[in-house]
Amino acid sequence: MALAVIRTPSPEPWTPLPKKPLPPGRPREWYVTHNRRLKAMRLAIALLDSGVYIPSKATDATIRNTAHSLGIHPPSDTTCRMVRALIRYGR
């Protein structure tokens, strides 16, 4: 028997989860790649929320302007490619 549950929005504001430290002992390249992926994911989510659903619309300038509006350091060309790949394969 299926049961439908109606959830009411919480009156409390959304708060992010507490950050955990990264695991120690990994090579430096692992940390660089990990942080680049997180940055690309944040930018891809922001672009999707702003209505950019097609990778060709997400130019380097658009991605960098979005980063500036979010208060994130300008992404590299590699990070911009990762953002477009996330938008492409998220469909």
Predicted local confidence at residue 89, as pLDDT: 82
Going residue by residue through the chain, which has 91 residues, state the pLDDT in tens, using 9 for 90 and above. Answer: 566 666 666 666 667 778 889 899 999 999 999 999 999 999 999 999 999 999 999 999 999 999 999 999 999 999 999 999 999 986 6
Q: pTM score, two decimals? A: 0.77
Task: List CB contacts of 40: < 8 A, sequence separation 6 or more.
Answer: 75, 79, 82, 83, 86
Predicted local confidence at residue 26, as pLDDT: 95
Predicted local confidence at residue 1, as pLDDT: 56
- The pair phi, psi for residue 40, each rounded to 5°, is -65, -40
